[in-house]
Amino acid sequence: MKIKCDICGREQNSKPRKGSEQAKLPPGWKEHLGKKWCRACWSEQYVLRAVTLPVAKLLDGEWKEFFDELK
């Protein structure tokens, strides 16, 4: 079973999903906005970033409430 990238057209062999005739996504492939993306196309389009904001103290409330709101 082959799977095809909707962006560049690259094809790769893939196993079927359990209980379905659809192809399982290979490692590194993504399905986003109804399209299948190969690893190369995904890394060209998106970059994972992390932002850290230190909190010295809370002006109102407790730490538990603060962390609950973050979730």
At position 38, the amino acid (one-letter code) is C
Tens of pLDDT, residue by residue over 19-63, are 888 888 999 999 999 999 999 999 999 888 999 989 899 998 899
Taking the model in full, what pTM does it have?
0.61
How many angstroms separate the Cα of 2 from the Cα of each of 8, 10, 14? 15, 10, 5
Output the pLDDT for position 70.
Answer: 86
Q: Is 43 helix (H, G, I), strand (E, B) or coil?
A: helix
Instruction: With beta carbons less than 8 A apart as the criterion, state whether 42 and 5 touch.
Output: no
Find the domain containing 25 and state its range: 1-71
- The number of folded domains in the chain is 1
The answer for residues whose C-beta is within 8 angstroms of residue 12's C-beta and 6 or more apart is: 2, 3, 26, 29, 38
Output the pLDDT for position 29.
Answer: 95
